[in-house]
A and B are shown apart, each in its own frame.
Chain A
Amino acid sequence: MSSESWAHLSNALVYSTIIVLSVALVAFAADFALGTGRRRADQRKQRTVTQASEGASGDTAVTTAAPPELPADERWARVGVSLSTLATVMIVCAVVTRGISAQRPPWGNMYEFTVTAVATLMVIWVAMLPRRPEWRDLGLIVVLFNLLLLGVAVLVLYTESAELVPALKSYWLWIHVTSAIIASSIFTVGSLSSVLYLFAERYERRGSASSPRGVRDAIGARLPSSKQLDTVAYKTIAFAFPLWFFAVVAGAVWAEDAWGRYWGWDPKETWSFVTLVIYAAYLHARATAGWRGRPAAIIAIVGLAAFLFSYFGVNIFFVGFHSYGGV
């Protein structure tokens, strides 16, 4: 097959992924509307409670409760997960075929970064589902976010498959970009979880007893508990932080070879620094009395905003060394 036909195949796979993800979005929306997220969460909680009480009273019991019954309307979430898995396989194939077409790792311009980031995000999320059932409740927002990213990639960032400028031919680039894509995908999961946290926390604070009023309560009422969302946010961000630090350092090592200075406050460097500092602030906030909960969640969301800006905004608005992105 020629380079061009591989590129066409890759494009077709990206379009198909968009279609499948859109259907998955509908399924997750149905699941969400039926409010199964919170019910699942409640059941998980109940399970831990029974475990604990059995332990406390127990003479001989280290038993673990049998897996709880799943709600009947679980099926929508299952449809969503199946479709998401299919979409994940397709988008990974899209990345691979793009790489075959260009004969290099396919993250050399903004379009390719974005498609690879979507693939990474989907792989991480889908791979965690069997081990962390609560991650399924992020389905709606994760799928929605990925659809938006793919839309921007296809409509705004699309660049034809081609060779790279000489400055990008360095193995440090692959190390730098690969770690940046993985770290940012994980940051994204964490910060999206913090977005949901704000709704869930508000709903719980106002007392779930009082009948829900307004859209925000309606959303909050359908989410897993704020505690679970907070835990997901903390764990993912804590995991991604060293990786992002590493990505920034790898970028500096590359810059030292390419441009003769490891750090020059180029807009892209500046914003990756800003992102790092904001997520450091998040980790600090989690460990500081009076800053846990809402303030920390807001910092995590600001972190995502800074990251998105360093990713899209810098290439679009600023002139700098990194403006090879092909926009």
Chain B
Amino acid sequence: MPADAINALADQQADGAPPRQPALGFTGGLRWLWRQLTSMRTALILLFLLALAAVPGSVFPQRGASPLRVGEYIQDHPTAGLWLDRLGMFDVYAAPWFAAIYLLLMVSLTGCILPRCFHYARNLRSVPPATPRNLGRMPEHRSFTTSASTAEVLGAAGTALRGARFRLRPSESGAQDSMAAEKGYLHELGNLVFHVSLLVLLVGVAWGSWFGYRGTVVVVEGEGFANTLTQYDDFTPGRGFSTSLLAPFSFTLDSFDATFLAEGPRRGQPDGFTADVTYRETPDSEPKTQRIEVNKPLAVDGAKVFLLGSGYAPVFTVRDGAGDVVYSGAIAALPQDPSFTSNTVVKVPDAQPEQLGFNVTVTPTAPDQVDPATGPRSVFPEMNDPRVYLGAWAGDLGLDGGVPQNVYQLDTSAMEQVGRKDLAVGETWKLPDGRGSITFDGLSQFANIQVAHDPGRWLALLAAVAAIVGISMSLVVRRRRVWVRVTPDGEGRTLVEVAGLAQTEWAMLGDEVDAVLATLPGAPVAEKEHA
């Protein structure tokens, strides 16, 4: 039977009260609405909606993760894209309808769990209900007769149950004929801890996304970074962000090392990245050194500094026609393939007589022969035999037009090609017609670095751990009742009944009942079952 009967009871508790006709009037209507919202059925439906609503975010590209792909998608599907955009399908997890679902769920949760918390607190000291009349209908039931007196049996039962940490119903006035005991209150406590933790978890997540920030920056070996807005290549603040939340740290990338597998089926796959940095928590604090690796970020003042990726940065010196050094330094090149064939552009606006521009392809390990169809392709990602392939242009770089230019592209509309050449480290190319020269001084590496600050993450983690502990507790501990009844049979012997009932079906209930029974005077020795 009774699993269902008890479940029905749990339903009633969960729903606050048995369903009633909505009372007329405004407050009555509100109360009815509230009861609907906080019912288990609504929770169930909201859970479903939440699962369903999360799905489109994995189907369509999302602005937060890949804005470029969103743009492409809208370009490829103009009509559908427009509508999907209006519906928030490219920003699902920030969409109002998504928020509506989880906020409703949280309201429902609060409305459902708070009363249960109060109820739990009020009943901390409550006593188990009286022994039911017919113990034979309980899922576990044993009986025997003994020559011991009723008082002796009940005394032994009390000792055994108390020893097993059951809560006992105190004896009522008059001759006592039974004992009622209950155990497993931690089940409900675990359930409450779990649900309350879910609320706290949401608070932690919201807190972090409101006051947190995230930014990325490319830092070349030997160069530095200070945590200010202008230094970031890309920056995503939370809505409550203000620049005062930027921790005033800075660091220098002393050296960067990427290693790749040299053999085996995954030859060329990255094997490890390490970045050695010197950092200061504030401009006046002592410099410290640390090694950052993948999965091992640097933590400074609440922010975390991660290594996202890497690339190569060729170092050039450019002299112009007059022999003056008009350019000198490293420039990051964008990797084009897994072997780090990378492209970049060098713009030299100060060169005389004409401005110079170079298209640069970098191969950390140069091929023996360049395939004319594909152009130069690196044969291995590590810096074994670096080489640059240059295309030189002279004329007007078009930097004065006021239109911001892509730093990785050369606008050659007002330039003429001067020539092509490839260089190994240390080599110089003297440009024709007295336009100057370019020297390939060497290849540096750059690190793609992300700085992230999420002030809510500890709260979220704490809540998640509490939720796991709570739910485990609630699923492991069973609330159950055990009764012992004694009835004198009028011939000097006592009929003893022992019965048990668990709130949810529970295989161990029988063993527990047997254990209590075994301590009673005159109990038969139970045969152990061999299944």
Q: Mark B510-531, 1 if CB is under 8 A from A, else 0.
A: 0000100100000110110111
Within 8 A of B (CB), among A293-312: 306
A257 and chain B: residue at smallest CB distance? B295
Inter-chain CA distance A59–B144, complex, in Å, is 5
Known: A162-B266, A169-B294. A263 touches B205 (CB 8 A): yes
* Selected interface stretch from B29-37, B153-161, B268-276, B367-375: B268-276
Inter-chain CA distance A12–B444, complex, in Å, is 47
Residue pair A274, B526 in contact (C-beta under 8 Å): no
Known: A64-B529, A287-B14. A160 touches B51 (CB 8 A): no
* Selected interface stretch from B168-176, B278-286, B464-472: B464-472
Known: A160-B265, A245-B467, A284-B40. A277 touches B47 (CB 8 A): yes
Q: Mark A1-39, 1 if CB is under 8 A from B, else 0.
A: 000000000000000000000000000000000000000
Q: Which of B14, B58, B136, B306 contacts A267 (CB 8 A)?
A: B58
On chain A, the residues within 8 Å of B378 by CB distance are: none
Question: A262 at interface (Cβ–Cβ under 8 A)?
Answer: yes
Inter-chain CA distance A24–B417, complex, in Å, is 73
Residue pair B11, A289 in contact (C-beta under 8 Å): yes
Known: A278-B51, A284-B47. A242 touches B468 (CB 8 A): yes
A171 and chain B: residue at smallest CB distance? B295
Question: B460 at interface (Cβ–Cβ under 8 A)?
Answer: yes
Residue pair A170, B295 in contact (C-beta under 8 Å): yes
Chain A interface size range: 35 or more
The minimal Cβ–Cβ distance linking A256 to chain B, given in whole angstroms, is 7
Residue pair A67, B51 in contact (C-beta under 8 Å): no
Known: A241-B471, A284-B47. A162 touches B145 (CB 8 A): no
Residue pair A273, B143 in contact (C-beta under 8 Å): no
On chain B, the residues within 8 Å of A241 by CB distance are: 471, 475
Q: Report how many A-B pairs have Cβ atoms within 8 Å.
A: 176
Question: A209 at interface (Cβ–Cβ under 8 A)?
Answer: no
On chain A, the residues within 8 Å of B467 by CB distance are: 245
Q: Which of B51, B293, B450, B471 contacts A306 (CB 8 A)?
A: B51
Known: A241-B471, A265-B62. A62 touches B526 (CB 8 A): yes
Residue pair A60, B304 in contact (C-beta under 8 Å): no
Question: A231 at interface (Cβ–Cβ under 8 A)?
Answer: yes
The minimal Cβ–Cβ distance linking A293 to chain B, given in whole angstroms, is 10
Other A-B pairs, 19, CB within 8 Å; known A261-B214, A264-B65, A270-B57:
A56-B141, A131-B531, A242-B468, A245-B471, A246-B468, A260-B452, A265-B57, A265-B58, A266-B65, A270-B55, A273-B54, A274-B54, A277-B47, A281-B47, A284-B40, A287-B11, A288-B44, A314-B58, A319-B66
Q: What are the nearest 8 A-B pairs in CB distance?
A: A267-B58, A260-B452, A166-B294, A170-B295, A277-B51, A281-B47, A270-B58, A160-B265
List 30 A–B pairs whose Cβ atoms lie within 8 Å, in order of A's numbering: A55-B141, A56-B136, A56-B141, A59-B144, A60-B524, A62-B517, A62-B523, A64-B529, A133-B531, A163-B264, A166-B295, A253-B461, A254-B295, A256-B304, A256-B457, A258-B295, A260-B308, A260-B450, A262-B460, A273-B51, A277-B51, A278-B48, A278-B51, A281-B44, A281-B51, A284-B43, A288-B40, A288-B41, A290-B41, A292-B7
Q: Interface of B with A (CB < 8 Å)?
A: 4, 7-8, 10-11, 14, 40-41, 43-44, 47-48, 50-51, 54-55, 57-59, 62, 64-66, 69, 92-93, 136, 141-145, 205, 214, 261, 264-266, 269-273, 293-297, 304, 306, 308, 450, 452, 454, 457, 460-461, 464-465, 467-468, 471-472, 475, 505, 514, 517, 523-524, 526-527, 529-531
